[in-house]
Amino acid sequence: MSSVIQLLPDHVANQIAAGEVVQRPASVVKELLENAVDAKATDIKLIVKDAGRSLIQVIDNGLGMNVIDARMCFERHATSKIRHAEDLFSLYTKGFRGEALASIAAIAHVELKTKQEQDELGTHIIIEGSKFISQDPSVLPKGTSFAVKNLFFNIPARRNFLKSETVEHRHIVDEFQRVALAHPTIHFTFIHNGGELFNLPSSNLRQRIVNLFAGKTNEKLVPISEETEIVKVQGFVSKPEFSKKNRNEQFFFVNNRYIKSGYLHHAVMAAYEGLLKDGMQPGYFIYLDVPPNTIDINIHPTKTEIKFDDEHSLYAILRSTVKHSLGQFNVAPVLDFERDPNLDTPYHYQEKDASVPLIQVDSNFNPFAQDKPTKSFSGSGFRERKTETTNWESLYIGLKNDTQEIEQITFEHDAVTSSLFNDNEIEDSKNRTYQIHKKYIVSSIKSGMMVIDQQRAHQRILYEQYLKNITIQQASSQHLLFPLELFFSVNEIELIRDLKMSLESTGFVFDTIENDKITISGIPVSVTESEVAIVLEELMNDLQNGIPDSSFSLNDSIAKSMGRSLAVRTGTFLTEKEQENIVNGLFACKEPDISPFNKPTFITISVDDLDKKFAI
């Protein structure tokens, strides 16, 4: 009987490993950038085409590799970062698995150019799907150039599962930002489709953050700093008024390695307690330095999660550090126990004596006297006033005769009918709608009753309205009296440039689009001026995250996002007229039964179903 278990060929094993290491083009960008940082480069350039599908190239001026290392780096489990198992607990470098380059070479066309400073010639290697095509000496500058072309060319199923170019580009930008934020002293350049997206010179941390996110980033940063035996905390947090609904500006770094930690995020949110509106997220750039032997970074394939030895202490230190900084810079309310006594009394009255009011008493006053004079207080003294009380009976003369002459009053009354409601009220009640718990609209129909989800119904109405406006390019716009200026990051400005034509079809009018801000002079009729920034932020966040599903056209995604942002929320009170408009608008749609996100907009309950509920 033949053996069932066999060793996998190297190229198959590499493709399987690539499924874990290389999930999307951003994974390649992360591995190549971290290798360049580990090579002690001071200048790193990232070149990307078609969101990484066609080309991902990283050029650095680092140490470079000799001929043997250039060939060995593509072998599985080949690394220069560790020698013994104990080295896993004292890592100061980025990569250490030794599978990244082998996995990348198994699913792409790879071209490597590298040269060390002391060598006269460098090495030029071409690999296609783990197969070495050529290896030649070449005249090259110091450093390494790693070009990855046609990613997933031999795994079409993986290539088909990639998201839209907008989503994949956003993931690449995220990885670039994480590496750039971890190393502000390195000069980074990012070129996408021939255009320079980022040019980050060597600088301090605050300047690096401002260069990456532009806009009003500098004025919203609050520095934090704390040093203990357990951890050293440094970085910046944002002021509460600059909070957003997304988490695009939240970064944790442990020993200059980007990590994700819901536990530490909860500590930061606890420090902001009472300062943020519901659903808003603060921005933060927090750097933790801990002894390498107190953390384990080998618990997750992507190395973005870390296990700490003493998480509870880290939580308490981080929370108190952020809360202290917010209070120190007068961002959070604080109690001031050092009261200035000069504020108790007005300045001009400090040397004046208090005036004692004078009280005068009339010792001859007799309340039981018949003709008693009455006193009225005026100013600082009394004024006498006599009241005529004689012949008081004359006030009531003639009242007896008047009371006898009472006119008879007749009252109008409606005739009592046998019907509780009149015909008009009955006719009106047939088309009347009712709102339940500020969430559902109930309307009667011939077979029973219909319950409509007000939020989903309004989403469907707005979605079809915006999709029609974008398609025919005839949207109505309201002109603003004063142009509106909005500030965004460099990456968001590039996305707005790509969406400009589609947004103008919905009713937006753009005056200028600069490197860090846009000027809007017209907005759609259904959008208020205060909602513009929220609508654009949610739109860009949806498109960058692939939510809603962007399997259709870009215009479809824009219509879905704007419909979701501007629809009435659950918990909003609607007048009877607004309820009728939603009902009528819903059934004027082409597909009234589902929302843009394939969820039911209404249900019907028949009379028979109601009868069954009351059956004994």
DSSP string, 574-604: --HHHHHHHHHHHTTSSSTTB-TTS-B-EEE
pLDDT range class, residue 491, cuts 50, 70, 90? confident
Q: Which residues of 167-198 are buried (b: 16+ CB within 10 A; e: fewer)?
A: bbbbbbbbbbbbbbbbbbebbbbbbbeeeebb
Confidence class of residue 519 from pLDDT cuts 50, 70 and 90?
very high
Q: What is the DSSP letter of 414?
A: P
- 320, pLDDT greater than 70: yes
Model's pTM, two decimal places? Answer: 0.72
Q: Regarding predicted confidence, which is higher, 8 or 216?
A: 216
Longest dimension (CA), the chain: 139
Report the run of H or E that residue 470 belongs to, with start and end. Answer: helix 454-472
Name the residue with higher pLDDT: 348 or 322. 322
Amino acid code (one letter) for 237 = V
More confident residue, 421 or 155: 155
- Pair of tokens at residue 615: 């059956």
Tell me the fold of 10-200.
Answer: Heat Shock Protein 90 (3.30.565)
**Closest of 243, 287, 197 to residue 489, by C-alpha:** 197
- Tokens coding 165: 């170019």
Q: Is 80 exceeded by the pLDDT of residue 405?
A: no
pLDDT at position 13, please? Answer: 65
Rounded to 10 degrees, what is the CA torsion of 496, 497, 499, 502? 120
The CATH homologous superfamily to which domain 434-604 belongs is: MutL, C-terminal domain, regulatory subdomain (3.30.1370.100)
> b/e map of 356-377 (b: 16 or more CB within 10 Å)?
eeeeeeeeeeeeeeeeeeeeee
Most confident of 392-396, 412-416, 470-474: 470-474
- Tell me phi and psi for residue 281, to 5 degrees: -125, 135
* Higher-confidence position of 505 and 13: 505
DSSP 105-131: HHSSEEEEEEE-TT-SSEEEEEEETTE
What is the pairing mode between strands 250-254 and 232-238?
unpaired
Between these two residues, 422 and 6, which has the higher pLDDT value?
A: 6
Q: Would you state the pLDDT for residue 426? A: 38
How crowded is residue 87: how many other Cβ atoms within 10 Å of its Cβ? 14
Residues across the chain: 616
Give the per-residue pLDDT at 93. Answer: 59
Q: Could you tell me which residue, 100 or 86, shows the higher pLDDT?
A: 100
* Residue 379: pLDDT band with limits 50, 70, 90: very low
Rounded to an integer, what distance in angstroms lies between the CA atom of residue 112 and that of residue 65?
10
pLDDT of residue 167: 85
Q: At a CB cut-off of 8 Å and minimum separation 6, what does 294 contact?
A: 308, 309, 310
3-state DSSP assignment of residue 562: helix
Higher per-residue confidence, 400 vs 310: 310
Q: What is the DSSP letter of 527?
A: -
- Residue spans per domain, the chain: 10-200, 212-328, 434-604
Q: Comparing C-alpha atoms, which of 361, 362, 359 is closest to residue 373?
A: 362
The chain-wide mean pLDDT, for the chain, equals 81
Phi-psi region of 541 (alpha: psi -120 to 50; beta: other; left: phi over 0): alpha
State pLDDT tens for residues 523-549. 988 888 888 888 888 888 887 776 655
Helical (H) or strand (E) element with 537: helix 532-545
Q: Is the pLDDT of residue 425 over 50?
A: no
Residue 341 confidence (pLDDT)? 58
* CA atoms of 599 and 549, how far apart (whole Å): 14
- At 32, which amino acid appears? L
Stretch (H or E) spanning 485: strand 477-487
547-569 pLDDT, tens digit each: 655 546 778 888 888 888 889 98
Mean pLDDT of 282-297: 86
SS3 label, residue 64: coil
pLDDT band at residue 15, thresholds of 50, 70 and 90?
low
Contacts of 289 (CB under 8 A, 6+ apart): 231, 232, 234, 254, 255
> Percent of the chain having pLDDT more than 90?
33
- Residues 109 and 30: their CA atoms lie apart, in Å, by 18
pLDDT (tens digit, 9 = 90+) per residue, 26-52? 999 998 998 899 889 999 999 999 999
Under the banding of pLDDT at 50, 70 and 90, the label for residue 337 is low
- Give Rg (Cα) of the chain: 38
Mapped onto helix, strand or coil, the DSSP state of residue 541 is helix
- pLDDT value at position 409? 56
- For 212-328, CATH gives 3.30.230.10
pLDDT band at 80 (very low <50, low <70, confident <90, very high): low
Helix (H, G, I), strand (E, B) or coil at 225: strand
pLDDT band at 468 (very low <50, low <70, confident <90, very high): confident
Statement: residue 521 has pLDDT above 80: yes
pLDDT tier, 418 (very low <50, low <70, confident <90, very high otherwise): very low
Mean pLDDT score, 170-187: 93
SS3 (DSSP) at 443 = strand
Judged against a pLDDT cut of 50, whether residue 228 lies above it is answered with yes
Q: Where are the beta strands (DSSP E) in 22-179?
A: 43-49, 55-60, 109-115, 122-128, 131-138, 143-149
- Rounded Cα distance between 45 and 505, Å, is 37
Report the SS3 class of residue 227. strand
What proportion of the chain, given as a percentage, has pLDDT over 70? 76
Q: Where is pLDDT greater, at 151 or 246?
A: 151
Do 470 and 562 contact (CB within 8 A), yes or no?
no
- Whether pLDDT at 252 is above 90: yes
Q: What is the mean pLDDT of residues 213-237?
A: 88
Name which of 612, 610, 592 is nearest 602 in CA terms: 592
| Residue 24 tokens, joined | 């999307």
pLDDT at 378: 47
Quick check: 396 pLDDT over 70? Answer: no
Residue 71 clears pLDDT 50, i.e. is over it: yes
